[in-house]
Every structure is written in structure tokens, then in C-alpha cells.
Amino acid sequence: MKRIGVLTSGGDSPGMNAAVRAVVRTGVAKGLEVFGVRHGYQGMIDGEIAPMDARSVSGIINRGGTILHTARCMAFMEAEGRVRAAEQLARHGIEGLVVIGGDGSYRGAEALHAEHGVRCIGLPGTIDNDIGGTQYTIGFDTALNIAMEAVDRIRDTADSHDRLFFVEVMGRHSGFIAIMASIAGGAEEVLVPEEQCDVATIVARLQLAKSRGKTSMIVIIAEGDEQGNAFSVAKKVAEMSEFKDSRVSVVGHMQRGGSPTAFDRILASRMGVRAVEALIDGATGMMVGIENQEMVLNPLSSTWEKKSQFSPDLLRVSRLLAT
């Protein structure tokens, strides 16, 4: 194998650039030619493919987003779209790919390999940390730190006014950011999609906290909680209790941007190195993960067969320390 490609696909996450840099520089150091594919699978179909050298990834390890841009691509879901993508790769002589993205992107990679023999290695790039086969995904630590900082800032104003705040953080299908931010930010209550929780229970917990002398209170809500978004939870709590004058804050997309933390840069760098080495060793259909500090390879299929879940003990810790 002489030529490999690298792309970022699906949702962006901070640290993707560090991963691209690691893939390009490792490839160059090992004597490969590395091509960057812009705009994910859409760019692959459209032929947005260009060579990258070691200098082309200078000064990006500290930058959020992805210099390769990312996209969602309906055409790639169809066999016909993947034929066009494979033709473009063949035109450039690319035999192996590093796909930085989530489990949707891996399904695409698996299909590309099955139908056209392109070797693919995945790197987990998502802020949600819910991909099976790795303890951490690239971008989670950065997003968590932004959520925590938001909680800290809101605590200041909540304290000053003796107020109740509902803070919504990202996590459509996963409460990883919410539970970790609740512990790190000392929130009084946390709502996650992994746990059923009715409004009466939330109200009872807030009343208990108040009776213990708490004057300001913060409830963190993962955007995917079954009770709805932070605005609807605040409304339901107001209807059922004396907590009628609360405020709502949605942290939103700022959790996806900004300079990645040291943890994410190092994780992305190690994963990028391992991905290229795996391709050179002849691996395909695998994702690089981290388990017990070590880089490991797990089948791409493990990422959609089993989601990564946080330990339920974290909920116990969060609530115990909120007393």
C-alpha cells in the first residue's frame, strides 16, 4: 500500500484536527503518500481529494473543528454513491482510508470495504463519548470542560440571586456530558436519557435540597432526556411546585467548538498514529480505541452493536455529593 486517504465525517468534534495531523505526519514518516478528502463522503464522491504533506497540517493541533470540513451524505447510503466514491479513490490510487467520525461513518466505511475492497480504519470522533469499543472519544473531554465552565458561570449568577437554573447540555442519546458535568460542576440534580425520572421526583429532590439550606440550585439536563428539553422541564417543575421563577440556559453548539484540551489532543495524536500503523499492518474494518491507557483495535461493528454507557455509580456519586 502506497497511498492512503483521511477524512472527517458526520458530526464534528474538537480534536479532529489533531487526529488529521497525526495521520498525515505518521503516513509521511512511514513513506506513504497521504491524501485529504474534504467534506466527508460527499467530497469523496465529488472528487474533493488532494495530497497533504507534513507542513500542510502545521498549526492545527490547537484548533477546533476540522480543516477537512465534514458533511452528512445521503448519496453514500446507496450502493450507487459508493461506486462513484470508489472510482474517485481508484483514480487517485488510494487503497486505505482513515475515517474520523461516529458509528454512522463506520457503517459507510464497512460498506465501502465490502463492496470495493478499500481498507478502512476508524477513529472515534464525537463529543458524546457513546461509541462502543473505546473508553474515550476524541472531543468528549473538551465538550465536557466547556459544559463544566458554563455550569460554573451560571452558578455565580444563580448564587447571587438565590435562583434555580436548568442547564441543558448536549447529548441526544447519551448522558455522558451531563453526568460528568454534574459531578464536576456540583449540580443539585441531573437528568439523563439513560434513567427514567418523573417530574415529581425532581421536585422532591429540589425541595429536599432547599430544606437543607441550599439557596441556589442547578439542574443539568441532557438534551435527549425523555422529559423534554430544559424549557419544558422548567415549565413542568413550575406547574407542580413553588419553584416558579427559575431560569433556563442552553449551552448548545459552543460545546463542539474551541481549542481541544490536552487530553483530546494527546488522545487524537495517539489514535492517529495507531490508525496508520494498523493500515500498514494490513488491518481493515477496525476502530482504534483506548482501553486502560492503551491503544486497542476493535471491529467497527462493535461500535453499533454496543453503545458505550457511563457507570450507573456516577449517578449515585453526583446525588450523594449534592446533599
Which residues here bind ligand ADP, judged by CB under 6 A? Answer: 9-11, 41, 72-73, 76-77, 101-105, 107-108, 111, 126
Tell me the closest approach of the beta carbon of residue 95 to ligand ADP, in angstroms: 20
- 105 versus 249: smaller Cβ distance to ligand ADP: 105
Q: Which of 128, 119, 173 is nearest to 283 (CA)?
A: 119
The sign of the torsion formed by the CA atoms of 303, 270, 100, 12 equals: positive
For 4, the grid coordinates are 492512503
Tell me the closest approach of the beta carbon of residue 55 to ligand ADP, in angstroms: 29
H helices of the chain, in order, are 16-29, 40-46, 79-91, 103-116, 140-161, 176-185, 199-211, 230-240, 262-280, 301-305, 313-321
* C-alpha neighbours within 13 Å on the C-beta side of residue 146: 24
With vertex at residue 268, the alpha carbon angle to CA 298 and CA 147, rounded to the nearest 5 degrees, is 105
* C-alpha neighbours within 13 Å on the C-beta side of residue 6: 32
Tell me the closest approach of the beta carbon of residue 302 to ligand ADP, in angstroms: 14
Is 46 considered catalytic here? no
- 103 versus 264: smaller Cβ distance to ligand ADP: 103
Catalytic residue among 103, 128, 225, 264: 128
Q: Would you name the residues annotated as active-site residues?
A: 128
